[in-house]
Structures are given as C-alpha cells and as structure tokens.
Amino acid sequence: MSLTSIAGKFFLPRQKELERHTDHAEELQSEVLSYLLERGKETEYGRNHLFNMTKSYEDFVRNVPVNTYEELKGDIDRMRHGEHNVLWPGQVRWYAKSSGTTNDKSKFIPVSHEGLRNIHYQGGKDVVALYLKNNPASRIFDGKSLILGGSHSPNYNQHGSLVGDLSAILIENINPLANLARVPKKSTALLSDFEVKRDRIARETMGKNVTTLSGVPSWMLSVLVRVMELSGKQHLEDVWPNLEVFWHGGIAFTPYRRQYEQLITSPRMHYMETYNASEGFFGIQSDPTDASMLLMLDYGVFYEFIPMDEYGTDNPTVVPLSGVETGRNYAMLISTSCGLWRYLIGDTVRFTSKNPYKFIITGRTKYFINAFGEELIMDNAEKALAYACEQTGAEVREYTAAPVYMDADAKCRHQWLVEFAKEPADLQEFSNLLDRKLQEINSDYEAKRSHDITLQHLELIQARPELFNDWLKSKGKLGGQHKVPRLSNSRKNIEELLAMNE
C-alpha cells in the first residue's frame, strides 16, 4: 500500500464536507458572517462600527463602509507597530507584502493566526483533497513537493513579527512534519535573491523524487528551465519521472500552458488552478474538465460583489453571494478573519455557475484599458493572445499593453509590448490575429475599431529577451509573487519598459 493511499484517507471527511458548497452555499456564508462579527465585536473597529448591534447582512451593510487599502492603512500600520485589538482580536504578527497602491510602493496585508490556519492552510489542504478525489490513483505523498516561495524580513523590529511574501510566511509557519515532504530546504526557499535561489533550487531538487509543483507559473517556469539546463535532459519527466501535478496561481496560466506542455510531455501530468492571494485563499479548480474554480465558502471569508458596470460610481450596487448573476463581471469585496472589512481586493470575477458557485478571474479593477470606451479586460487579452499563439505557433512569455491617446497624426491605438518565448514567423500576422480576436470577443472594442475611426489597429512591439525580468529586477521585484501589470490606462509602465528595450 502506497503512502498516498494511507494519507488519502485523512482527506475523506473533508471531501464529504465540501459537498455542502453545492446545496448550502448561502448558509455557509451566513455562518461565516456571524463568526466574523462575533470575533470582531470587541476590536476597536468592531466597536466603532456597531458589530454588537449588527444582527443581519442589512445591518452589516448599513454599519460598515466599503474599504480600500487607503481606508485601513492607518489601522494596519498601528497593528504592525504592535497594537492589539485594532482590526482583529489580539496581536497580528504576520503581514503579507503585496503590490502597492497609487500612493505606496507596497501594501501590507495582515495575516492573523486564524487566517493562517483557517484560510491559507485550509486552502492548501482542500487543493489536495479535491485533487485526490479526482485522481484516486495518485502517488503524490510518495515523493516531494517543490514549493516555490518568496522571502520575508523583520517587521518594525517587533519580536516574532514578520513582513514579506505570503508564500514565505506560509513556509516559515508550516507544520515541521510538512517540511519533511517539501523541497527545497527552508533556507533556500526563503532566499531573497531570485537568481541565486533559482540556481540553488535546481541543484537541490534534481536528485529528489518530486511529485508535485506549487507556485506562480512564470517564476516556476524559470526554475524548471534551470533544472533542464543543469540536468541536460530533454523533458522534465526524465528528471522527475513521478511528477504528476502543478498547482498554480497568482497569474493566468494560459500564456504559459504551451511552454509547460513542451517541457512536460508525460500524459500523467495534471494542472490545477488555485486563487490564493495575500488577502486570502478564495478558489480551487475542482473539476479538471472545467477551467472555472469553486468559490471556497467556509474559510472565514465573507464575499460581496460590485457589478463592474457600476464600479467607480457614487453609489454602486453591492450584493452578497446570493445576488450574483452568471456571465456578469464583478469587483470582489471580502471580509476576513485577518481583519479586512468589506475590503476591495482589486480582482474582478465572472460566475459561470451558481450551483455550486464557480467562477473565473477576469482581471483587476486597475488592470484594464478603457481609454476610448473599449473596456478591454485581462480575460479578453489572455484569450486573444492564446488564439494568436495557436494560429501561429508562437509562445508568449510576458506582455503589457497601454493606450496611445494621440500620436503626431492624431491617431489613437493600443500599444502592445510582447516578449516571446517562441517568436511567430510573421509578427504582422500575429498582430492582425490578435486585433481581430479582440474585436470578436469584445463588442465595445469592435465598435471603437470600426472603420479605424476612433481606434486604429493595435501596434505590436517585440520585447528583447529578459526585458520584463530586468524591469522587475530594477524595482526590486524579481521572483516571489510579483507580477507584470498586463493592462493599464496609464503609460507609465510601458514607457519605462520601452526605454529599457532599446
């Protein structure tokens, strides 16, 4: 009997519990809201917002405002300096460093003990539970898990308090028994210099029996390429013959899928998407035949949603889970056991099912282009790029796009800067396919492109190799959970990249 078949029995009760997500979704969310209010009522925030008098969702909406990071920043900074009972009971010792706001380079997301245990680690356990349910012949526990993490540092010199990538906080606090099943060693996993870390991970893991991978697709691919360079093998299964699954999240997998499938040709390889962020663990791909993810409803996260066609207006509609519609784009609000209350996380989602609640990530509230009424979102961009790659045999490594509001000839267009892992034979053909597919899947873009009157054909610029990594490195954001901003109404990022592309 394999170790996996023995360990798998411990996941059976949870697999049964997860069935409640189909028939008792609203009940699960009501239980979460009651728990959060009960735990939060003795905090400063809870007293200021009448948690002890909040008995219903309607009371919650009336008493608690919608918050961005800016509204909670002052309280979070006090917590980082050691104050107790501010946004969550007791002292919160861990802070996940996330991409910044307009005014700050970084956000610092509180990660409470409850949040660590009941949100982040529970999400990891449920990924395994759902994977084993779909793959009963799995042998994942008979080998090692390669978990790619970031780094952390002391928080304001507070004793025992850390700030850094969420992945580093998870590795730092993981059950010591779990360390026996993961690689690389902890000191390597927490290195801050990604280029050094990449090489050490490759060298440490080549001789191990790696069965699972977990991390951000772009950074994991960089590590795997180094493994191939050092090993001299043609395919990854020649290095790790028992590799069977990559649990990925953080960025869309579509631009990287072909590169992974070329690197790993084994028919036994699986890919499973997760939605885990600094703010929480929200979704898991529960069905390998369905790209959408199951919304996780019993983790200490209460969800609300703002229709994107109302986002940014003075009084947008806000609905709980029961009020969402399939096929509509929403900005997501969360209240969590880490002390985030009605917090705009910045991601946008679209539900594909309500029984159970399943969704796809469509982009970021700040990562879109709407310079001319075209409302281009990341979901459009990913699908159009995938189509152009499929038609031309090209492979995209990284990209970003921004509008050119008006050039010397009074022409307006979108400008795409694309770094290819495999170049198309004809760059203009790729550009034409991309532009045509965007029109096909986005009616607003199509209308603005009509007869080249408002919006001209997109401009495609090829990036030199490693441009995006060099740009991230210049900002101290190489590795970890850092991501390239894909779409923006601002030209700041693309101008910096174009200057480095010369």
Amino acid at 30: S
For residue 381, which of 372, 366, 369 has the smallest C-alpha distance? 369
Helix (H) or strand (E) holding 238: none
Nearby residues of 197 by Cβ (< 8 Å), 6 or more positions away: 188, 189, 191, 479
Nearby residues of 334 by Cβ (< 8 Å), 6 or more positions away: 279, 280, 282, 301, 302, 303, 304, 340, 342, 343, 345
Q: How far is CA 176 from the centre of its chain?
A: 26
For residue 439, which of 419, 454, 426 has the smallest C-alpha distance? 454
What are phi and psi for residue 341, nearest 5 degrees?
A: -115, 120
CB 171 within 8 A of CB 190: yes
CB 431 within 8 A of CB 413: no
- Relative to beta strand 301-307, strand 319-320 is antiparallel
CB neighbourhood size of 488 (10 A): 19
Domain boundaries, the chain: 115-284, 368-500
The side-by-side arrangement of strands in the sheet containing 162-164 is: 106-111, 94-99, 162-164, 152-154
What are phi and psi for residue 78, nearest 5 degrees?
A: -60, -40
For residue 78, which of 55, 110, 41 has the smallest C-alpha distance? 110
DSSP state letters, 48-73: HTTGGG--SHHHHHHHS--B-HHHHH
Could you state, in chain order, the average pLDDT of each consecutive group of 10 residues for the chain (502 residues)? 86 96 96 98 97 96 96 96 97 85 70 96 97 96 91 82 88 81 90 90 96 91 93 96 95 83 95 95 97 97 95 92 96 98 95 97 83 83 94 95 76 92 96 96 86 86 95 82 82 94 88
Topology of domain 115-284, per CATH? Rossmann fold (3.40.50)
The tokens describing 223, both together, are 């590590």
- Strand ranges (DSSP E) for 200-279? 210-215, 245-248, 270-277
Between CA 15 and CA 427 the distance in angstroms is 48
332: left (phi over 0), alpha (psi -120 to 50) or beta: beta
SS3 call for 278:
coil
CB 212 within 8 A of CB 131: no
CB 379 within 8 A of CB 362: yes
Q: How far is CA 198 from the centre of its chain?
A: 21
Between CA 185 and CA 213 the distance in angstroms is 15
Q: Comparing 115-284 with 368-500, is the CATH topology the same?
A: no
What are phi and psi for residue 81, nearest 5 degrees?
A: -85, 5
For residue 456, which of 413, 408, 417, 401 has the smallest C-alpha distance? 413
Nearby residues of 143 by Cβ (< 8 Å), 6 or more positions away: 208, 209, 210, 211, 212, 240, 242
CATH top-level class of 368-500: alpha beta
Burial class (CB in 10 A: 0-12, 13-18, 19+), 425: exposed
pLDDT for the residue numbered 102: 43
Burial readout 380-403 (b: 16 or more C-beta within 10 A, e: otherwise): bbbbbbbbbbebbebbbbbbbbbb
CB neighbourhood size of 272 (10 A): 23
- Around 411, how many Cα atoms within 13 Å sit in the side-chain half-sphere? 12
Q: How far is CA 112 from the centre of its chain?
A: 20
